[in-house]
Amino acid sequence: MNSNASIITLTTDFGYGDLFVAEMKGVILSINPQAVIVDITHDVEPFDIVEAALIIGYSSAFFPSGTIHVVVVDPGVGSDRKPIIVRAGGNYFVGPDNGVFSRITPDKSVEIAGDKYMIRRDSPTFQGRDIFAPVAAWLSRGVLLSEFGPEIAACKSIDIAGPELIGNELRGEVIHVDRFGNIITNITETNLSQIGKEYQVYVKSKPVGRAAFYSQARPGVLNCLVNSSGHLEIFSYRNSAASQFGISKGDIVVVSCMKD
């Protein structure tokens, strides 16, 4: 096993105040004491599968090849939804088959079926500890994908809605507010290229200026830029745009082409 193979990341909605994450780490280190465990985040909004899918979709691209990503946002734990492993581009993704891997393009997916590599197959409430953590640890020790269970044809994919192009207007929405109160939209650089370089952005019908970077904007007014994940982002320099202007997840964002 090379050292890259032993990086295991964790993305959950377990928070930082309970023992869930610690128990997963203990299980992993009991099986592979050489595993390097990296927290992506444990502050996914509880049960928000789409948020988890976006976070792992973007951040996994920055980890070295061979990384094993465990994602546990799992309202259906204990039901008959399958536990799965997805191999994609040299990396591995371990979690429930509920859409958390919607932004990953699988090379091969298997159902975790045998109980050889898990603590408890019928784990009713905490498969993060009883199934996904030990499976990730055994993967990191070189157990082959085929050892965990049968290949499955497809895994569940949630349609994560992009903006609509109506005439010369993109109609999108706010999908996330970050720690700074910056407003992340579902409108990407690719979407923007459809309507050319001259456009005007509106959020909740308020006009939004444009800037290349944050400190280029005057404080106290709304501006936008394309952020580090390639999404249109609306901000207020050194302020929370969200709380200052009362903007939240789901609010409408419109981009109008200015040439007709």
Residue (60 or 186) nearer to a copy of itself, CB:
60
39-58: contacts with a copy of itself (CB under 8 A): 39-44, 46-47, 55, 58
70-129: contacts with a copy of itself (CB under 8 A): 75-79, 123-126, 129
The residue count for the chain: 260
Q: Which pair of tokens denotes residue 246?
A: 């009362």
Q: Given the rule CB under 8 A, which of 21-29, 99-107, 186-194, 250-258 is the region that contacts a copy of itself?
A: 21-29
Distance CA 159, CA 49 (A): 11
Q: Which of 225, 241, 242, 247 binds a copy of itself (CB under 8 A)?
A: 225
Contact partners, residue 168, CB within 8 Å, separation at least 6: 195, 256, 257, 260
Residue (179 or 197) nearer to a copy of itself, CB:
179
Distance CA 206, CA 192 (A): 19
148-207: contacts with a copy of itself (CB under 8 A): 178-180
With binding defined as CB under 8 A, does residue 251 bind a copy of itself?
no
Distance CA 190, CA 44 (A): 26
CB neighbours (10 Å) of residue 44? 25
Q: Given the rule CB under 8 A, which of 141-149, 165-173, 197-205, 233-241 is the region that contacts a copy of itself?
A: 233-241
204-223: contacts with a copy of itself (CB under 8 A): 212-216
What per-residue string of b and e applies to 163-201 under the rule 16 or more CB within 10 Å gives b?
Answer: beeeeebbebbbbbbeeebbbbbbbbeebbeebeeebeb
Give the nearest distance from C-beta 116 to a copy of itself in angstroms. 19
Site string for a copy of itself, 1-20 (x = CB under 8 A): --xx--x-x---xxxxxxx-
- DSSP symbols for 82-122: PEEEEEETTEEEEEESSSTTTTS--SEEEE---STTSS-TT
With binding defined as CB under 8 A, does residue 33 bind a copy of itself?
yes
CB neighbours (10 Å) of residue 27? 21
Distance CA 140, CA 7 (A): 8
Residue (6 or 109) nearer to a copy of itself, CB:
6
Residue (90 or 150) nearer to a copy of itself, CB:
90
Q: Which pair of tokens denotes residue 254?
A: 């419109």
Q: Which residues bind a copy of itself (CB under 8 A)?
A: 3-4, 7, 9, 13-19, 21-23, 25-27, 29-30, 33-34, 36-44, 46-47, 55, 58-64, 67, 75-79, 123-126, 129-130, 178-180, 212-216, 225, 227-229, 233, 237-238
